[in-house]
């Protein structure tokens, strides 16, 4: 089983559009594939793949303090000791915990003289196993303001690999999060290959360099795709030169095409929506990129 992670140094580079197209093309393989959306903070792969949820479970991680009003004596020690200003005193003198400010440090629980503060596990989001027209998909959504997205990413990847093993699928395709933070590290660690999608801009060059350093740190084979290349070929060539210096092959330079947006509106991948054999079409460029990736993955 091989695992391909598609990431980007910033949002808006076309990462999810390419991932969805790869899922479409990989579904035609003999053993199929399993798709996963690890951009749990802002998941959007489902907008194209239209999954039908078969199984949904709550994701819990860490703890969150809650005050039992019937037992609280309103002594105020919890507010005094809370470093994060998560204890709020209401106008009637009662105290409550602000769930968005609570860091789960448990200080208030330990110092409450009447043990009136509970410390249950925090519900941070949900994760789903679904069916799409391209096969199984694992995806999740982190609650607003919730933390531990890296742990949720690891859970999504684990479930996707388990499903692939059960079905005999040889490939797991992951839509990773943008940036270089904890969710990205959780997405790429132990992967067989990473495709970095960037755009020909000053920020695209800077963000590509950061992601390239991250991949090199974890010793993960990385490849580059420059999307919307024809918008600024000079900047695209600068990124490609930098990639060459970092020993990262540039596998594709895809031209800007409004068909990507039109396909998204119809909730289709670009390879489903735009059927043309023209060498410079977005479909042909994406197909060529996928064929090259497949060779590197031996998929």
The 10s digit of each residue's pLDDT in 202-225 is: 999 999 999 999 999 999 999 999
CA angle 253, 193, 61 (to 5 degrees): 120
Can you give the pLDDT at residue 93?
Answer: 92
285 in helix, strand or coil? helix
Can you give the pLDDT at residue 146?
Answer: 78
Reference 269, options 255, 286, 293; nearest CA is 286
Can you give the pLDDT at residue 275?
Answer: 66
How does residue 242 score in pLDDT terms, banded at 50, 70 and 90?
A: very high
CATH code for the domain in which residue 172 is found: 3.40.50.300
List Cα–Cα distances, 224 to 182, 200, 205, 254, in angstroms. Answer: 21, 12, 12, 11
How does residue 8 score in pLDDT terms, banded at 50, 70 and 90?
A: very high
Q: Is the domain of 206 the same as that of 188?
A: yes
State mean pLDDT over 83-106.
93
Q: Is the domain of 33 the same as that of 173?
A: yes
Residue 274 has pLDDT above 90, yes or no: no
Residue 131 has pLDDT above 70, yes or no: yes
Q: How far apart are CA 31 and CA 6, in angstroms?
A: 21
| Final residue before a domain boundary, out of 102, 119, 136 | 119
State mean pLDDT over 85-107.
93
State mean pLDDT over 86-95.
94
Q: Is the domain of 217 the same as that of 292?
A: yes
Residue 266 has pLDDT above 70, yes or no: yes
List Cα–Cα distances, 230 to 233, 243, 268, 269, in angstroms. Answer: 5, 18, 24, 21
Residue 299 has pLDDT above 70, yes or no: no
List Cα–Cα distances, 146 to 44, 98, 152, in angstroms. Answer: 18, 13, 11
Q: Is the domain of 55 the same as that of 11?
A: yes
CATH code for the domain in which residue 102 is found: 3.30.70.20
Residue 292 has pLDDT above 90, yes or no: yes
Q: How far apart are CA 25 and CA 32, in angstroms?
A: 9
Q: Is the domain of 212 the same as that of 253?
A: yes
Q: What is the CA radius of gyration of the chain?
A: 23
Q: Is the domain of 130 the same as that of 71?
A: no
Given the DSSP bridges, would you call strands 87-89 and 95-97 parallel, antiparallel or unpaired? Answer: antiparallel
How does residue 28 score in pLDDT terms, banded at 50, 70 and 90?
A: confident
In this prediction the pTM is: 0.88
Count of domains for the chain: 2
Structural domain range at position 245: 2-60+125-297
Q: How far apart are CA 299 and CA 293, in angstroms?
A: 8
Round the average pLDDT of the chain to a whole number and report it. 93
Q: Is the domain of 30 the same as that of 53?
A: yes
Can you give the pLDDT at residue 29?
Answer: 83
């Amino acid at each position: 089983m091989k695992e391909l992670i598609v990431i980007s140094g910033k949002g808006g580079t076309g990462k999810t559009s390419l991932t969805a197209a790869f899922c479409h093309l990989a579904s035609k393989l003999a053993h199929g594939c399993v798709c996963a959306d690890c951009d749990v903070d802002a998941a959007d792969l489902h907008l194209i793949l239209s999954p039908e949820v078969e199984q949904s479970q709550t994701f819990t991680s860490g703890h969150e303090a809650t005050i039992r009003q019937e037992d609280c004596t309103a002594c105020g020690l919890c507010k005094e000791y809370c470093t994060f200003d998560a204890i709020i005193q209401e106008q009637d003198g009662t105290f409550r915990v602000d769930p968005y400010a609570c860091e789960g440090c448990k200080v208030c629980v330990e110092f409450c003289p009447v043990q009136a503060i509970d410390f249950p596990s925090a519900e941070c989001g949900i994760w789903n196993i679904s069916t799409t027209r391209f096969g199984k998909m694992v995806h999740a959504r982190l609650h607003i303001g919730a933390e531990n997205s890296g742990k949720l990413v690891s859970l999504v990847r684990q479930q996707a690999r388990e499903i692939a093993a059960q079905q005999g699928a040889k490939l797991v395709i992951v839509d990773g999060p943008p940036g270089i933070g904890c969710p990205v590290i959780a997405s790429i660690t132990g992967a067989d290959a990473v495709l970095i999608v960037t755009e020909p801009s000053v920020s695209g060059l800077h963000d590509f360099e950061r992601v390239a350093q991250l991949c090199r740190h974890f010793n993960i084979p990385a490849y580059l795709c420059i999307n919307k290349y024809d918008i600024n070929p000079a900047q695209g060539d600068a990124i490609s030169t930098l990639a060459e210096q970092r020993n990262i092959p540039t596998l594709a330079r895809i031209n800007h095409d409004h068909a990507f947006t039109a396909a998204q509106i119809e909730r289709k991948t670009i390879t489903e929506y735009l059927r043309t054999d023209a060498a410079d079409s977005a479909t042909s460029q994406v197909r060529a990129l996928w064929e090259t990736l497949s060779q590197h993955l031996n998929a």
